[in-house]
Amino acid sequence: MNVKTLLMVLLLALVVIFALVCVLLTRGEKYAHCRYQTQYILPEHLHSERRWLFADLSQEEIVHVVQYLKSSLGVVLEDASRANPSGNCIYSIDLQLPPKAESLSYLDDRGSRPPRQALAVVYFGNQTHPNVTEYVVGPLPEPTYHRDVTVEKYGRQVPYYCRPPLIAEYKQMEVFLHSAVFPKAPSFMQEVLGYDGTNVAAMTTSPRGLKSGDRATWLVLFQNVTGYFLHPIGLEVLLDHSNLDSSQWNVKKVFYNGQYYRDFTQLEREFTEGRVDVEKVKKVPVDGDFSSMKPRTDHAEQGPLNYEVSEPRYHVRNNQIQSSSWNFAFRLDLSRGPHLFDIRFKGQRIVYELSVQDTMSVYGSNNPGGMLTRYMDASFGIGKHTYPLVRGVDCPYSATYLDVSSFFEAEKPRVTKDAICIFEQDLGSPLRRHYSKINSIYYGGLPGTALVFRAVSTVGNYDYIWDFVFYPNGAIESKVHPTGYISSSFLYGSGLDYGNKVGGHTLGTIHTHFFAFKVDLDVGGVKNSLVANDMAFEKVKTPWSPDNEIFQMKMTKKVLDTEDKANFHLHDKMPRYIYFEANSTNKWGHKRGYRIQLISFAGDHLPEMDPMERAVSWARYKLAVTKRKEKESFSSSIYNQNDPWTPTVAFADFIDNEDIVDEDLVAWITTGFLHIPHAEDIPNTVTVGNSVGFFLRPYNYFDEDPSIHSPDGVFFTSKQDPTSCDVNHIACLPKTAACLPNFPPFTYEGFQDLARL
């Protein structure tokens, strides 16, 4: 090879290298970032300042209420996070909603603005008659008055023993166990459980007794490891913590491996005498072993993602969300969780209030804690137990995340970062479609999308994912997915009558999940009637051949004109079409309506003879429609859990046969399912197949399906070119969606405030 050739080869090599470098350097620029921003502000003209009346209290408002109460109640208010049962303290401060008439007058008729008010729940342990008092405090932000509303709301004073325990009380119970109870059985604790002062965790159960006034809790003990709910050790303690002096608390009963003992002293004596039937559980590593949620495999490739190609098609401003079809206001009630207000489709109000009211789980077990458990989560706090959501897992990565301010059991307001997420979702299936090759040849369809509002509550072992889903056809879906850990009992004796074995000594205990919703529909105005359509077969002579008969299907229609006709027990046959009907008609002369469609496979709630049943009597009915009343604002109360025998709110009393034709009506909906835990509930109950809820769907409300006006629709005929962007916007996607998602950095602030339960 001569020099010239060598130079040519070298030159060629340099050109190739340069070209390769260029390709590599410019590769990342082939796609621009999507036109994505992290914060979307509702344009001023779409925002209604008036809906501020539904907003949660601001931090500033909360601070003023705390200052006002401290200077106005005439007693010393301790910091609830450190309060003793014998003290006075503020339990919680939350928004007090204005009455509906005042809100509507302000929203619709330019009436005067209702005063902003707070609802303060105050514990008075240091009084002659200890009690819980609820005050309405206003006007905000600078309060000048407070009004005791306890008797007005509950028809009586609320005795102190009805109060939900403070986090401080739970801590005191734990300290009492470790310092005053366990030391009374040192040999048993050491030899059977290898107790070292830290390796036993207690889980509360409730209710706390068998009659009004009781405050004795079965504490179920577990190995203190990750996912401890799945590692019972067979020991349970009935701790009476009714005395306001915690040094006077005492153990009423002890359960170990199927046997009951008077107290730890007796347990120790019988153990040292060799009369305790010992069943040692294997010590589990601190990561929990089978209860660990740590993935068993390394991450490989990223799965599919939902992301915004251009600006999100919804806007969030303060407490309001707006898309091209929907708008509504929202808040997170401390005890009840997500509340949506003034839900409008294309500007027309469909729902005044759509809210979670309570949840309930009844358990079965041959262990005392499990046997007695009937959890009512509004008492623990469905909104109170919300925590930062994790991008890309709890909601799509690109969702909008909102912080929530609240006040409970503290001196200052707290802010929960990213407690709510909002996103528009590609449902992956068409909302509707049709392919035609007969007569005319075409394809038409609408990609399925929905706007989702989500919050997640973690109440003890379970997590509830609350979704409110808004579809382009005017339908709203409310649904909840339970996930998290099951609760378990120590497996012994006849345990398998109460569930399946899911670990060495772990019984996944049978239980129910019930969810209570309030739906204050206002269809074409406040006044509505409840109507049922269904089907029936009738035998008729065939008109064209009178010698023959056929069974002919007919539509039935019935107005359910009283509250007694408008309630359906869990397993009652319910008309398949049941809807709120307006006074106005659609183009075809039909009264405009919105239908309630349930998705539920509930177990039985509790026998009505059970002395606690009235406290959860909302769960008797899958649907009950009542005349709306301010004094029937909620179907349960935060006090029902700790005194279910004399409930402060008994929903069944709402149903008193009032006339409900052309009235302001509320639908109370219960959905739920029976859960018999099985091997695949380990480590967690999955959301798949465990979703229950209901749809609100237009029924002759419109003149046609409003989604036909969606700009997402696709239609092309055999005479058109479906690959052309002008004909079919989907054909543009390779160009318009050829961008990189502009994801914000991943952040997480869920471990910043671990003082919370």
Residues labelled catalytic: 377, 462
Q: Which residue has the tokens 């967690």?
A: 684
Residue 51 or 675 having the CB closest to Cu ion: 675
Q: Indicate the SS3 state at residue 229.
A: helix
Four-CA torsion 687, 689, 694, 695, nearest 10 degrees: 100
Residue 289 or 463 having the CB closest to Cu ion: 463
Alpha helix locations (H) across 2-75? 3-27, 59-72
- Residue 685 CB, shortest distance to Cu ion, in Å, is 6
Residue 208 contacts residue 201 (beta carbons within 8 Å): no
Q: State the pairing for strand pair 621-627/663-675.
A: antiparallel
- Residue 486 CB, shortest distance to Cu ion, in Å, is 6
Q: How many CB atoms are located within 10 Å of the residue 26 CB?
A: 9
What's the rounded Cα separation, in Å, for the pair 176 and 180? 5
- Residue 254 CB, shortest distance to Cu ion, in Å, is 28
- Residue 511 CB, shortest distance to Cu ion, in Å, is 6
Residue 600 contacts residue 619 (beta carbons within 8 Å): no
- Residue 673 CB, shortest distance to Cu ion, in Å, is 8
What's the rounded Cα separation, in Å, for the pair 485 and 496? 19
Residue 494 contacts residue 551 (beta carbons within 8 Å): no
Residue 620 or 675 having the CB closest to Cu ion: 675
Exposure of 364 in the CB half-sphere (CA atoms within 13 A): 18
Cα separation values, 461 from 362, 363, 505, 617, Å:
14, 14, 18, 24
Q: Which residue has the closest beta carbon to Cu ion?
A: 675
Exposure of 232 in the CB half-sphere (CA atoms within 13 A): 32
Residue 549 contacts residue 542 (beta carbons within 8 Å): yes
* 567 DSSP β-pair partners: 624
- Residue 104 CB, shortest distance to Cu ion, in Å, is 39
What's the rounded Cα separation, in Å, for the pair 643 and 91? 18
Q: Which of 125, 83, 644 shows the shortest CA–CA distance to 408? A: 83
> Which residues touch 72 (CB under 8 Å, ≥6 apart)?
146
Residue 589 or 689 having the CB closest to Cu ion: 689
Instruction: Give the sign of the dihedral formed by CA 428, CA 693, CA 360, CA 171.
Output: positive
Residue 447 or 499 having the CB closest to Cu ion: 499
Mask of contacts with Cu ion, 667-706, x by CB under 5 A?
--------x-------------------------------
- Residue 571 CB, shortest distance to Cu ion, in Å, is 20
Residues contacting Cu ion: total by CB under 5 A: 1
Tell me, what DSSP letter sits at residue 642?
Answer: T
What's the rounded Cα separation, in Å, for the pair 5 and 536? 95
Q: Indicate the SS3 state at residue 104.
A: helix
- Residue 494 CB, shortest distance to Cu ion, in Å, is 21
If binding is defined by CB under 5 A, does position 374 make contact with Cu ion?
A: no
- Residue 689 CB, shortest distance to Cu ion, in Å, is 12
Residue 15 or 496 having the CB closest to Cu ion: 496
Residue 84 or 690 having the CB closest to Cu ion: 690
Q: How many CB atoms are located within 10 Å of the residue 163 CB?
A: 25
Residue 40 contacts residue 316 (beta carbons within 8 Å): yes
- Residue 647 CB, shortest distance to Cu ion, in Å, is 24
Residue 160 or 229 having the CB closest to Cu ion: 229
- Residue 500 CB, shortest distance to Cu ion, in Å, is 12
Residue 591 or 675 having the CB closest to Cu ion: 675
Residue 475 or 616 having the CB closest to Cu ion: 616
Give one DSSP letter per residue of 651-684, joined into a string. GGGG-S--B-TTEEEEEEEEEEEEE---GGGSS-
Residue 727 contacts residue 718 (beta carbons within 8 Å): no
Mask of contacts with Cu ion, 626-665, x by CB under 5 A?
----------------------------------------
Q: State the pairing for strand pair 739-740/32-33.
A: parallel
Residue 313 or 501 having the CB closest to Cu ion: 501
Residue 531 contacts residue 557 (beta carbons within 8 Å): yes
Mask of contacts with Cu ion, 435-464, x by CB under 5 A?
------------------------------
- Residue 488 CB, shortest distance to Cu ion, in Å, is 11
What's the rounded Cα separation, in Å, for the pair 653 and 703? 39
What's the rounded Cα separation, in Å, for the pair 72 and 66? 10
SS3 for 333-394 is ECCCEEEEEEEEECCEEEEEEEEEEEEEEEECCCCHHHHHCEEEHHHHCCCCCECCCCECCC
Residue 460 or 713 having the CB closest to Cu ion: 460
Q: Which of 489, 260, 261, 255 shows the shortest CA–CA distance to 370? A: 489
What's the rounded Cα separation, in Å, for the pair 329 and 351? 11
Residue 374 or 675 having the CB closest to Cu ion: 675
- Residue 524 CB, shortest distance to Cu ion, in Å, is 39
What's the rounded Cα separation, in Å, for the pair 615 and 635? 9
Tell me, what DSSP letter sits at residue 263?
Answer: S
| Positions in the binding site for Cu ion (CB under 5 A) | 675
